[in-house]
Chains A and B, each alone.
Chain A
Amino acid sequence: MSATRIDAGAAGPAPAAPVRFDPRVVRADFPIFATDRDKPLLYLDSAATSQKPQAVLDAMDRYYRTCNANIHRGVYRIAEEATAIYEDARRRFAAFVNAASPREIVFTRNSTEAINLVAYAWGRTNLKSGDAIVLTPMEHHSNLVPWHILAAERGIELRFIPMSAAGELDVDALPGLLADGRAKLVSFVHVSNVLGTVNPVAEIARIAHAHGAVVLVDASQSAAHLKLDVRALGADFLACTAHKMLGPTGIGMLWGRRELLEAMPPFLGGGEMIREVSLTGSKWNELPWKFEAGTMPIAEAAGLTAAITYLEALGMDAVFAHDRELAAYTLERIAEVPGLRVLGPPAGRRGGVVAFTLEGVHPHDVATVLDSDGICVRAGHHCAMPLHEALGVPASARASFHCYSLREEVDALVTGLHRAKQLLSR
């Protein structure tokens, strides 16, 4: 399989939704861009991690300075304040994704741990030898490796929804993959971290459910950029991570339908996840604490709340429109660079991610040339080796955006790419 070169001029209309915020004003809220350095920071790697607004840093700092205490057990004032901060983050995230209840939200370290939680607690309870799991070729390693482990342990077959050369799923092939009734789970990425492809979650979920399969959505990229409504999406589990959503590292979120979470055994054993413990046994705590063993990331929860507040003030529709507008502009400008091949679908069908290869120049060299201009892009396989193999490229370079990204950064990228081509082509 090979990716088609996208003719940006014929890539369809750019998304029409107007940007309701000024990215320059937004940018002023992010201290990293004001930090003194020899060249301005041109940050085009938000798909790896986003930058953090002052409000997030302040919220975390405030917790440590004013009410640092462990949660849930202390009865003194600051312990109660800390507990309130932590549980408020759960309520805010539940509302952010329109979950039926905060009890459906489990905090983890990151998306990867959220997916592993499902693989261990749900997978090992519900899957047996001969069952199948349906994935896609565009998954991040975090939504492949947990299933590889489970598949090897239990004798489970992995199946893959076929993908077009432009990096879009052939959803029509899904019923065939589910027809024998052996597939118990369909687990896939909402927005690809390489291709930018926005997958049709509701349609895939409908087909999966019609065949009795449970649906897990990896929303690592989408939660940060578009309005998520877990009930409208129709999924059963959804995993995402705060650090791509303007929040801190170290806290991820698993949403799961309550009846599924209720029926699952714990993932990690330890403090807080139990109701009663004797020397030889224990009874599990109720949801969601059953899944939250040990001291959890409390300052990070405070940061998450601030990030959600910030994103909601911008408006997720406006954030997504801004990302897509920049992606469309990038596809248009980047087409000027000779030998440049874009991976993934046209502008109208992708989020704020543009991965590409430059003929004759290794992505590492592209990234190094750009770095000398202060431009940060990712180079490598972006934790999606099977996807790169399917596209027939060993690695790619990737530019990705968020609410603070500017057209000028894209212009600098294009200038840098011309220079890389000139310097390193042989």
Chain B
Amino acid sequence: MNDLFREDILDHYRHPRCHGTLENPDITFEDANPLCGDRIRMDFRLRDGVIEQVRFSGHGCSISQAAASMLCEHVEGRLVEDVKRLGREDVLEMLGIELGPVRLKCALLALKTLKSGIYGIHQWPGEEEE
């Protein structure tokens, strides 16, 4: 079977962590990949510069949803300043697979949503590297 369906990816896809929405979140951001219809929304609750709680919702392929689950699980409880330093390599390391150019966009949608949310901007520094 293809590496894209490694057991831990399927596990995150089938049983996403940090899934859902927050009431009165401090930040909420939603982004989509119009080419394939993947859509991710993230709600954040912040306290003292820490991401106290994050929840994601949306729909899309296994890679986009598993990446969102892994990423949210990773950032919950971390300093916003640390989270701002996360990059594409971190996401690819979490997924642990090689991705072609099309699926790379699926994998990075969650990171884009996360960064756009906590930076409060639509593009974050370094996006042009893609």
Instruction: Return B98 CB to nearest CB of chain A, in Å.
Output: 13
CB atoms of B5 and A369 under 8 A apart: yes
B 99-110 binary contact with A (CB < 8 Å = 1; else 0): 000110010000
A394, B62: Cα distance in complex, Å = 15
Partner of A362, one of B2, B10, B60, B102: B60
Residue B49 is within 8 A (CB to CB) of chain A in the complex: no
Residue A286 is within 8 A (CB to CB) of chain B in the complex: no
Residue A385 is within 8 A (CB to CB) of chain B in the complex: yes
Residues of B within 8 A of A80 (CB): none
Which residues of chain B from 62 to 82 have any CB-CB distance to chain A below 8 Å in the complex? Answer: 62-63
**Given the known A-B contacts A364-B106, A372-B1, A372-B2, are A385 and B34 also in contact in the complex, defined by CB atoms under 8 Å?**
yes
Instruction: Return A397 CB to nearest CB of chain B, in Å.
Output: 11
Instruction: Return A45 CB to nearest CB of chain B, in Å.
Output: 14
Residue A412 is within 8 A (CB to CB) of chain B in the complex: no
A424, B62: Cα distance in complex, Å = 8
Residue A368 is within 8 A (CB to CB) of chain B in the complex: yes
B 106-130 binary contact with A (CB < 8 Å = 1; else 0): 1000000000000000000000000
Partner of B13, one of A364, A369, A394, A424: A424
Residue A363 is within 8 A (CB to CB) of chain B in the complex: yes
A 60-76 binary contact with B (CB < 8 Å = 1; else 0): 00000000000000000
Residue A395 is within 8 A (CB to CB) of chain B in the complex: yes
Instruction: Return B28 CB to nearest CB of chain A, in Å.
Output: 21
Residues of B within 8 A of A371 (CB): 2
CB atoms of B2 and A394 under 8 A apart: no
CB atoms of A395 and B62 under 8 A apart: no
CB atoms of A395 and B2 under 8 A apart: no
Residues of A within 8 A of B61 (CB): 362-365
Partner of B36, one of A395, A423, A426: A395
A381, B106: Cα distance in complex, Å = 15
B 3-15 binary contact with A (CB < 8 Å = 1; else 0): 0110000100110
Q: Counting chain B CB atoms within 10 Å of each CB, which of A368, A385, A423 scores highest?
A: A368
Residues of A within 8 A of B62 (CB): 362, 365, 424
A385, B32: Cα distance in complex, Å = 14
Nearest residue, chain B, Cβ from A362: B61
A369, B10: Cα distance in complex, Å = 13
Residue B96 is within 8 A (CB to CB) of chain A in the complex: no
A362, B38: Cα distance in complex, Å = 9
A385, B34: Cα distance in complex, Å = 9
A238, B37: Cα distance in complex, Å = 32
CB atoms of B36 and A364 under 8 A apart: yes
Instruction: Return B39 CB to nearest CB of chain A, in Å.
Output: 8
A 339-382 binary contact with B (CB < 8 Å = 1; else 0): 00000000000000000000000111100110110000001110
**Given the known A-B contacts A362-B62, A364-B61, A372-B2, are A426 and B13 also in contact in the complex, defined by CB atoms under 8 Å?**
yes
Instruction: Return A420 CB to nearest CB of chain B, in Å.
Output: 10
Instruction: Return A277 CB to nearest CB of chain B, in Å.
Output: 43
CB atoms of A426 and B14 under 8 A apart: yes
A342, B50: Cα distance in complex, Å = 47
CB atoms of A369 and B2 under 8 A apart: yes
Residues of B within 8 A of A424 (CB): 5, 10, 13, 62
CB atoms of B37 and A394 under 8 A apart: yes
A426, B103: Cα distance in complex, Å = 21
**Given the known A-B contacts A424-B13, A424-B62, A426-B14, are A362 and B36 also in contact in the complex, defined by CB atoms under 8 Å?**
yes
Nearest residue, chain B, Cβ from A423: B5
Instruction: Return A402 CB to nearest CB of chain B, in Å.
Output: 24
A 388-426 binary contact with B (CB < 8 Å = 1; else 0): 000000110000000000000000000000000001101
Q: Counting chain A CB atoms within 10 Å of each CB, which of B2, B10, B59, B63 scores highest?
A: B2
A371, B103: Cα distance in complex, Å = 13
**Given the known A-B contacts A363-B36, A380-B36, A395-B37, are A423 and B10 also in contact in the complex, defined by CB atoms under 8 Å?**
yes
Nearest residue, chain B, Cβ from A372: B2
Residues of A within 8 A of B10 (CB): 423-424
A206, B35: Cα distance in complex, Å = 37
A424, B7: Cα distance in complex, Å = 11
A379, B13: Cα distance in complex, Å = 19
A379, B4: Cα distance in complex, Å = 16
Instruction: Return A343 CB to nearest CB of chain B, in Å.
Output: 14
Which residues of chain A from 305 to 364 have any CB-CB distance to chain B below 8 Å in the complex? Answer: 362-364
11 further A-B pairs in the complex, CB-CB below 8 A; given A362-B59, A371-B2, A424-B10: A364-B61, A364-B63, A365-B62, A368-B5, A380-B35, A380-B36, A381-B35, A381-B37, A395-B36, A424-B62, A426-B13
- The list of the 10 closest CB pairs from A to B, nearest first, reads A394-B37, A362-B61, A372-B2, A364-B61, A426-B14, A395-B37, A365-B62, A365-B61, A368-B4, A395-B36
Instruction: Offer 27 A-B interface pairs, CB within 8 angstroms, sorted by A.
Output: A362-B37, A362-B59, A364-B36, A364-B63, A364-B102, A364-B103, A365-B61, A365-B63, A368-B2, A368-B4, A368-B5, A369-B2, A371-B2, A372-B2, A372-B5, A379-B36, A380-B35, A380-B36, A381-B37, A394-B36, A395-B36, A423-B5, A423-B10, A424-B5, A424-B13, A424-B62, A426-B14
